[in-house]
Amino acid sequence: MAGHSKWANIQHRKGRQDEKRGAAFSKIAKEITVAAKMGGGDPGFNPRLRVAVDKAKGVNMPKDKIDTAIKKGTGELEGVDYVEVRYEGYGIGGAAIMVDCLTDNKTRTVAEVRHAFNKYGGNMGTDGCVAFQFKHCGQMLFAPGTDEAALMDAAIEAGAEDVATNDDGSIEVITAAADYVAVKDALEAAGFTPEFGEVTMKPEGENVFTGDDAVKMQKLLDALEGLDDVQEIYTTAVIEE
């Protein structure tokens, strides 16, 4: 058994994303554009694009918006030239935070990220200050009640690195980042569709927050997430309801 209220935390996160669907469309469109620019416009031959398109479909992003974002990346339509940049820092109680951005103006972005950290009780750090606390990998979460033995057999057969049952009964499948799409496809073909899945920076440990500290930490994460240039936030913080 492993993890701490993973199911509740993922559901909470998905709920917050749904509330901000308009902003989610904009951020996913950026990711699709960059992925298409780097690896081509065919999701079948571009794993990063495939993951981004799956994410877009997960929030019911219209197909025409997906196609437009791909064409901006391949050069068929004019688009903005985005640069990837990552910032690292600390939240309440020293919880690790990594902030991935896509921007056309790094000076603006670093100022906005630093301001959010400072305003809400965090501290922006130097490159590499918290990266060692995370693992780059593919992560899928299956609902409590999923047939654990069958899922484990299918996951191992598909090439997953690890399968763990969390305290809340949900089951987590971890893959190498490069194998995520292939393992996900194999599991879906075997009848196992994850409730949530992504290529992520998975925290190696957790900082659990309750009460006032949980409120403060959530405000910091919300402030960072609300920035236009921020694509993803990874943190060791677990916010208890």
d(Cα 53, Cα 136) in Å, to the nearest integer? Answer: 20
d(Cα 148, Cα 133) in Å, to the nearest integer? Answer: 28
Tens-place pLDDT, residues 7-34:
566 655 555 555 555 678 889 999 999 9
One DSSP character per residue, 72-118 reads: HHHTSS-----EEEEEEEE-GGG-EEEEEEEES-HHHHHHHHHHHHH
Tens-place pLDDT, residues 36-77:
999 999 999 999 999 999 999 988 999 999 999 999 999 999
**Mean pLDDT to the nearest integer, 133-153:** 95
Per the CB < 8 A criterion, the answer to whether 65 and 212 are in contact is no
Task: From 172, 151, 157, 222, select the one nearest 6 (Cα to Cα).
Answer: 172
- According to the model, what pLDDT value does residue 56 have? 93
- According to the model, what pLDDT value does residue 212 have? 94
Phi and psi (nearest 5°) for 44?
-70, -25
> Per the confidence metrics, is the pTM higher than 0.75?
yes
d(Cα 99, Cα 225) in Å, to the nearest integer? Answer: 9
Per the CB < 8 A criterion, the answer to whether 144 and 170 are in contact is yes
